[in-house]
C-alpha cells in the first residue's frame, strides 16, 4: 500500500509539473509552487525529486516514451487507407502540444538539466529515422511524390517549424500564454509543408488539414479567431 501511495504521489507531482511547465518556463516555476499545486509538502516533493533537474529528467522520460510511440506508423502504410497519413501528422503534433514546455524552453531546459542535451540529440536522430521511413512509405502508397533529397528537405523543415513555431507565435502576437486555437494554427504550418509533394490522391486526403483560415493567412497569427478554423 505504501508503495502504491508513493507511486501515486510521484505521478501526481509529474502531472502537476507538466501543466505548470506548459504554462510557464521551468526556470520560472519554483519547487514550492509545484508542491503547493500538487497538494504535498515541499519536503515530500524533494523525497521523489531531489532537484528540479531530476523532475525535468522524469518528464523527459515520459516525453521520450510517447515520442517513440508516436513515431511508429501503427498501421502498415502500404495497406492502410490514405487517411492514416493525416492522422499520423496530427498524432505527432498533439504530442508536441501536450509537451510544449520541451519545445518552447530548450535553452532553459539545458541550463537546468545539462545532461539532457545528449539524450535530446539521440532521441531526435531516432525519431527522424522513423519519420523518414514513414515519408518513404507514403511515397510508395501514392500520397507523396518526392525524391530522396525532397524527403530530407521536408523532414528537416518539419523539424525546424515544429521546434520554433511557438517562439515565432509568441514574438508576432505579443502573447506568452498559448491557446487551443494556437495548436491548430501551428499544426497547419507543418502540414502546409507537404503541399508541393502531394499527389492528386494525397491532396484529397490532406484537403481539410491544409485549409487555412483567411485571417490567419493574412496576419500569420490566430489572435482574433473565436474558434479554430472560423473567422473572427
Instruction: Give the pLDDT confidence of 124-180 residue by residue, as tens digits.
Output: 999 899 889 889 988 988 889 999 999 999 999 999 998 888 888 888 888 877 787
pLDDT band at 73 (very low <50, low <70, confident <90, very high): confident
Give which of 211, 210, 220, 216 is closest to 231, Cα–Cα.
216
Say if residue 126 is exposed, middle or buried (CB neighbours under 10 Å; 0-12, 13-18, 19+): middle
Per CATH, the homologous superfamily of domain 53-219 is Tetracycline Repressor, domain 2 (1.10.357.10)
Per-residue confidence (pLDDT) for residue 6, from 0 to 100: 85
Contacts of 65 (CB under 8 A, 6+ apart): none
Whole-number average pLDDT of the chain: 82
Question: Given phi > 0 = left and psi -120 to 50 = alpha, else beta, which region is 171?
Answer: alpha
pLDDT band at 92 (very low <50, low <70, confident <90, very high): confident
Q: State the Cα–Cα distance between residues 169 and 186, nearest whole angstrom.
A: 9
For 229, phi then psi, to 5°, come to 85, 0
Grid cell digits, residue 162: 515544429
| Higher per-residue confidence, 146 vs 84 | 146
Domain spans of the chain? 1-50, 53-219
pLDDT band at 232 (very low <50, low <70, confident <90, very high): very low
Per CATH, the homologous superfamily of domain 1-50 is Homeodomain-like (1.10.10.60)
Q: State the Cα–Cα distance between residues 48 and 156, nearest whole angstrom.
A: 38
Kindly give the interhelix angle for 83-98 and 52-70, rounded to the nearest 10 degrees. 180
Per-residue confidence (pLDDT) for residue 210, from 0 to 100: 67
Per-residue confidence (pLDDT) for residue 227, from 0 to 100: 38
Which range in 12-26, 80-94, 97-111, 217-231 is most confidently predicted, on average pLDDT? 12-26
Place of cell 515520442: 67
Query: Is residue 99 within 8 Å of 65, Cβ to Cβ?
Result: no
pTM, 2 dp: 0.77
Amino acid at each position: 500500500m505504501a508503495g502504491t501511495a508513493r507511486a501515486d504521489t510521484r505521478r501526481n507531482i509529474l502531472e502537476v509539473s507538466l501543466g505548470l511547465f506548459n504554462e510557464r518556463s521551468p526556470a520560472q516555476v519554483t519547487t514550492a509552487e509545484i508542491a503547493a499545486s500538487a497538494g504535498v509538502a515541499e519536503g515530500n516533493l524533494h523525497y521523489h525529486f531531489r532537484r528540479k533537474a531530476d523532475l525535468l529528467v522524469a518528464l523527459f522520460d515520459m516525453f521520450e516514451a510517447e515520442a517513440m510511440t508516436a513515431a511508429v506508423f501503427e498501421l502498415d502504410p502500404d495497406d492502410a487507407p490514405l487517411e492514416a497519413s493525416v492522422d499520423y501528422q496530427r498524432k505527432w503534433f498533439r504530442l508536441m502540444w501536450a509537451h510544449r514546455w520541451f519545445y518552447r524552453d530548450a535553452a532553459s531546459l539545458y541550463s537546468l538539466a545539462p545532461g539532457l542535451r545528449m539524450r535530446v540529440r539521440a532521441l531526435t536522430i531516432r525519431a527522424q529515422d522513423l519519420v523518414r521511413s514513414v515519408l518513404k512509405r507514403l511515397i510508395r502508397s501514392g500520397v507523396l511524390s518526392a525524391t530522396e533529397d525532397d524527403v530530407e528537405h521536408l523532414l528537416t523543415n518539419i523539424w525546424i517549424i515544429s521546434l520554433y513555431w511557438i517562439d515565432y507565435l509568441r514574438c508576432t502576437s505579443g502573447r506568452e500564454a498559448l491557446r487551443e486555437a494556437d495548436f491548430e494554427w501551428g499544426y497547419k504550418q507543418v502540414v502546409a509543408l507537404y503541399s508541393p509533394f502531394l499527389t492528386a490522391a494525397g491532396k484529397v486526403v490532406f484537403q481539410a488539414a491544409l485549409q487555412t483560415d483567411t485571417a490567419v493567412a493574412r496576419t500569420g497569427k490566430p489572435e482574433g479567431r473565436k474558434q479554430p478554423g472560423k473567422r473572427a
